[in-house]
Amino acid sequence: MNRRSVMLVSLSAAALLLSAAAFSVVPAAFTFVVAEDGNTARYRVREQLAGFDLPNDAVGETSAVSGSIALDRSGNVIPEASHILVGVAGLKSDKERRDGFIKRRVLQADSFPNVELVVTRINGLKLPVPKSGTRSFTLDGLLTVHGVTRPTKWIVKAAFTDSIMTGSASTRFTFSDFGLSQPRVPIVLSVADTIGLEYDFKLRKKR
């Protein structure tokens, strides 16, 4: 086989592979995108501060949320098109010193600026997507925090109105699950090992 023939065979093989890859992509029947407003992600950790008789929740939140969730015609999630991204640089609580410590020492935001959720499965929400009413269901996803990725399960409560889905989703994990350091500062007597991650969402059906 001469050089020209080899080149033609190689080009034909490449074309077939590209064609097969194109046909293997699952088309999305429904895509919900994060709306421009109405989205807040937050962490919640129980802490005991020096000088206070009772523990309280340390809560930090941000509206820097983007992404989308896509479903195929069978109602299955398309993971490669289902990402929720949260920028941690804007996290704010009621104490600036806490915010700086969390971002610099715990999350190391300069090296890991985002928390990402790749949605892999939705349990208990069937097609067609409701146009009204409320639903409770669970969501499975791969959560990446501080450069560490782990499977997580979220409890979701959602309300549907026309092309908008609003609601809340939450999950829980420990500091060690994602290689995070528990805060150790004099003013904080103790910090619970469990972190609650919450997402108040507003998703818009893509037209």
In this predicted model, which residue has the larger pLDDT, 182 or 36? 36
Residue 20 counted as domain residue: no
Q: Is residue 19 part of a domain?
A: no
In a domain, 74, yes or no: yes
- Looking at the domain assignment, is residue 151 inside a domain? yes
Residue 14 within any structural domain of the chain: no
Residues with Cβ < 8 Å from 105, sequence gap 6 or more? 181, 183
Q: For 71-108, how does the pLDDT look when each residue is reduced to its tens digit (9 = 90+)?
A: 999 889 999 999 999 999 999 999 898 899 899 999 99
Taking the C-alpha atoms of residue 157 and residue 99, their distance in angstroms, rounded to an integer, is 29
Structure tokens at 133: 């009413």
pLDDT exceeds cutoff 50 at 16:
no
Each residue of 94-151: pLDDT tens digit?
989 889 989 999 999 999 999 999 999 999 998 888 889 999 999 999 999 999 999 9
Is residue 14 pLDDT above 60, yes or no? no
> What is the spatial distance between Cα 102 and Cα 58, in angstroms, rounded to a whole number?
11
pTM for the whole structure: 0.83
Domain that holds residue 128: 28-205
Count of domains in the chain? 1
Residue 105 carries which DSSP code? Answer: I
Q: How far apart are CA 101 and CA 91, in angstroms?
A: 11
Within a domain: 11: no
The CATH code of the domain that includes 32 is 2.40.128.110
175 located within any domain: yes
Q: Is 4 inside any structural domain?
A: no
> What pLDDT shows up at residue 50?
56
Q: For residue 186, is the peptide bond before it cis, meaning its omega torsion is within 30 degrees of 0? A: no
The two three-digit tokens of residue 103, written as one number: 């971002």
